[in-house]
A and B are shown apart, each in its own frame.
Chain A
Amino acid sequence: MNIAVCVKQIPDPNVPGKLDDDRTLDRSGKPQIDDSDMYGVEMALQLVDKAGGGEVILVSMAPNGEVAGLRTGLAMGSARAVLVSDDALAGSDALSTAKVLAKAVERAGGVDLVLTATESTDGYTGTIPAQIAELLGWPSLTFAKKIEVGDGTVTIQRQTEAGYDVVEASLPAVVSVTAGVVEPRYPSFKGIMAAKNKPVDQVTVTDLGLDPSQVGWSGARQQIVSVGAAPQRQAGEKIQDDGEAYQRIVSFLEDLKVV
């Protein structure tokens, strides 16, 4: 069984983000694999292992040939990667991104299952998984907190407002996984060394048969009209616990008439 995992390389989420002059995200720092995608990579490795054969293939897009984040996924055990890298991609909206990733999944070849996060940590549009499925004409099983694959079908526990639903479809399919679905492994030293020699198939938008005018700035059909600071909350009273601080919490709650 071959599983493609969509991974995004993002700026360090612990560094306060900023926008460039063109109002795209400042990506000048060293990018890293989005933590949200680690779960998909780990899940894919476990499923392929269980199936007794196949490959985990990373699928990613970046405007500048960046591979630092992909190396993490390869070091964890993925076999290879398809990286769509093209200046034309800068400024892409979610739908254009999905079009590119769907084509990249096709290029990866023989994929039975696509795993994604539910949304990226930086952009968090959250539409890519089902958009990719729609473009491929496949079922999408979203917000999975548990996945099982067997006998040509995939079954998940799908997070709902009330609890979870058991959802099933035949393969090939797209599954988006919630954070915490599995515990991602740390890459071993051997894995890190091996990752340096694993193949990264770097392609352009044209290589995928897409028209560059359909992606990036020229393909985006949305425009930022203003950027401003959100109103800030002010800090209130701050006390050091001296063993009696709980009493202040009680009186605070009393003042609000909630106890």
Chain B
Amino acid sequence: MAISKVWVFAEADGDKPTSATLELLTKARELGGTLEAVHVGPNADALAPGLGEHGATTVYAVDPGDSLPGAIAAAALESLVGEHRPDVVLFAQSYDGRDALSRLSVKLDRPVLTNGTSLRVDGDKVVVGAAIFGGNTLVDTEFVGEAPFLAAIRPKSFAAEPSGGGPAAVVTVPAPDAGRAGEAKVRERHVEEREGPKLEEAAIVVSGGRGIGSAEAYEPLVEQLAKLLGGASGASRAIVDAGWVPYSKQVGQTGKVVKPKVYLALGISGATQHMVGMKGSENIIAVNKDAEAPIFGIADLGVVGDVHQVIPKLIEALRSRS
């Protein structure tokens, strides 16, 4: 079976496609066949140039209104898939992507492969690679049975590169009635103030773990250093679980995957859960009291020491330079 049509579930960041969407489109071009996008949101027209520039010829656009998009997306995709028969439908491993993918898998009674970090067509098979056991083991899994094959790919798995295409043609599709499943409504949207770059896109990431000692230490150690370096602040799961910082800062298997130029791990021991989210960083600096901490096994520069001693001096030294 050659791949004749690939779909990408396109998501928006403001009036642009998310970087994960562009990564998926770039990879999807390699699989062959027609490449199209489906967007569930209010401004497909604004996304069409970016989607087209990365290879999508058409974007099917569904406006969910104030409904939480997942259920509406799945209902729309069910009928669109029936009509247009894509071989593969790719989703980003994102909040809305996961909702839509999960519900669609039930509607179509098709299996899902998630957390993909690689994707290839092998003869008549579609193979998704994912990391398990904290990224130490790579597993390739193929779909068995009939298309469409539904997969979720982790952001940052591929590089986004434009193909130079013109804007994707926008095909507006009315929002379907998803019944009770579609009843969840978005009542308010809160945008958290963020200084500096997004965690997933920052060239420098400074993360804190349990070794920083308390919630109060996060701002003066982690956030201050991140700010000074023009980077973003992150966290290990341990301190997110402890309620010190919000989930949006979590780097790891169940959080975000980051691949910055420099990753600074402060008071992070290096649980496999965390390392899977940052070991793709170009350079890793770790500061930890425990000389045996696993993080030192992957750090390019490891400092065995107390973050409360080392980091204030580092911050002072960096401040005095600027």
20 more A-B residue pairs beyond the given contacts A16-B272, A180-B240, A224-B140, with a C-beta to C-beta distance below 8 A? A126-B115, A130-B99, A131-B106, A140-B68, A159-B247, A161-B94, A162-B189, A163-B191, A167-B184, A179-B240, A179-B241, A222-B141, A225-B125, A229-B137, A236-B301, A237-B300, A238-B291, A239-B301, A241-B287, A248-B303
Q: Which residues of A contact B272 (CB under 8 A)?
A: 16
Minimal Cβ-Cβ distance residue in B for A35? B241
Q: Which residues of B contact A250 (CB under 8 A)?
A: 314, 317-318
Taking a contact as CB atoms under 8 Å apart, the answer to whether B301 and A125 are in contact is no
Distance, CA A94 to CA B122, complexed state (A) = 23
Taking a contact as CB atoms under 8 Å apart, the answer to whether B243 and A17 are in contact is no
Known A131-B105, A161-B94; contact A221-B110, beta-carbon cutoff 8 A: yes
**Which one of B41-49, B53-61, B127-135, B168-176 contacts A?**
B127-135
Q: Which residues of A contact B68 (CB under 8 A)?
A: 139-141, 158, 165, 167
Q: Which residues of B contact A52 (CB under 8 A)?
A: none
Distance in Å: Cβ of A1 to nearest Cβ of chain B: 18
- A-B contacts, 25 listed (Cβ < 8 Å): A98-B102, A124-B115, A127-B101, A138-B181, A140-B103, A140-B181, A141-B68, A142-B70, A159-B95, A159-B246, A161-B248, A168-B187, A179-B240, A220-B144, A225-B122, A227-B137, A235-B297, A236-B300, A236-B302, A238-B303, A246-B313, A246-B317, A256-B262, A256-B283, A258-B261
Known A129-B102, A236-B300; contact A179-B237, beta-carbon cutoff 8 A: yes
Cβ of A204 within 8 Å of any chain B Cβ, yes or no, is: no
Chain B: residues with CB nearer than 8 A to chain A?
13, 18, 68, 70-71, 74, 93-95, 98-99, 101-103, 105-107, 109-115, 122, 125, 127, 131-133, 135-145, 152, 179-192, 198, 203-204, 229, 237, 240-243, 246-248, 253-254, 261-262, 272-273, 279, 283-285, 287, 291, 296-306, 309-311, 313-314, 317-318, 321
Distance, CA A158 to CA B95, complexed state (A) = 9
Cβ of A253 within 8 Å of any chain B Cβ, yes or no, is: yes
Distance in Å: Cβ of B69 to nearest Cβ of chain A: 11
Distance in Å: Cβ of A39 to nearest Cβ of chain B: 8
Distance, CA A232 to CA B254, complexed state (A) = 21
Q: Which residues of A contact B138 (CB under 8 A)?
A: 227-230
Taking a contact as CB atoms under 8 Å apart, the answer to whether B248 and A259 are in contact is no
Taking a contact as CB atoms under 8 Å apart, the answer to whether A226 and B297 are in contact is no
Chain A: residues with CB nearer than 8 A to chain B?
13, 16-19, 35-36, 93-95, 98, 118-119, 121, 124-131, 133-135, 137-143, 145, 155, 157-170, 173, 178-180, 183, 220-230, 232-241, 243, 245-250, 252-253, 256, 258-259
Distance, CA A194 to CA B103, complexed state (A) = 38
Taking a contact as CB atoms under 8 Å apart, the answer to whether B254 and A162 are in contact is no
Q: Which residues of B contact A98 (CB under 8 A)?
A: 102, 106
Minimal Cβ-Cβ distance residue in A for B18? A161
Q: Which residues of B contact A135 (CB under 8 A)?
A: 106
Taking a contact as CB atoms under 8 Å apart, the answer to whether B187 and A178 are in contact is no
| Majority secondary structure of chain B interface residues (helix, strand, loop or mixed) | mixed
Taking a contact as CB atoms under 8 Å apart, the answer to whether B314 and A224 are in contact is no
Q: Which residues of A contact B262 (CB under 8 A)?
A: 253, 256, 258
Q: Which residues of B contact A158 (CB under 8 A)?
A: 68, 95
Distance, CA A130 to CA B101, complexed state (A) = 9
Taking a contact as CB atoms under 8 Å apart, the answer to whether A143 and B95 are in contact is yes
Distance, CA A243 to CA B143, complexed state (A) = 55
Partner of A125, one of B112, B125, B299: B112
Distance, CA A95 to CA B303, complexed state (A) = 45
Minimal Cβ-Cβ distance residue in B for A96? B111
Q: Which residues of A contact B125 (CB under 8 A)?
A: 225
Known A163-B191, A229-B137; contact A121-B112, beta-carbon cutoff 8 A: no
Taking a contact as CB atoms under 8 Å apart, the answer to whether B190 and A164 are in contact is yes
Q: Which residues of B contact A36 (CB under 8 A)?
A: 254
Q: Which residues of B contact A13 (CB under 8 A)?
A: 273
Distance in Å: Cβ of B90 to nearest Cβ of chain A: 15
Q: Which residues of B contact A131 (CB under 8 A)?
A: 102-103, 105-106
Taking a contact as CB atoms under 8 Å apart, the answer to whether A168 and B184 are in contact is yes
Distance in Å: Cβ of A78 to nearest Cβ of chain B: 20
Question: Which of B18, B71, B204 counts the most A-chain CB atoms under 10 A from its CB?
Answer: B71
Taking a contact as CB atoms under 8 Å apart, the answer to whether B299 and A238 are in contact is yes
Minimal Cβ-Cβ distance residue in A for B312? A246
Taking a contact as CB atoms under 8 Å apart, the answer to whether B303 and A178 are in contact is no
Q: Which residues of A contact B111 (CB under 8 A)?
A: 93-95, 220-222
Taking a contact as CB atoms under 8 Å apart, the answer to whether A221 and B144 are in contact is yes
In order of increasing CB-CB distance, the 3 nearest A-B pairs are A241-B305, A130-B102, A163-B192
Distance, CA A237 to CA B300, complexed state (A) = 6
Distance, CA A183 to CA B184, complexed state (A) = 26
Question: Which of B125, B127, B300, B311 counts the most A-chain CB atoms under 10 A from its CB?
Answer: B300
Minimal Cβ-Cβ distance residue in B for A133? B181
Distance in Å: Cβ of A149 to nearest Cβ of chain B: 14
Taking a contact as CB atoms under 8 Å apart, the answer to whether B112 and A94 are in contact is yes
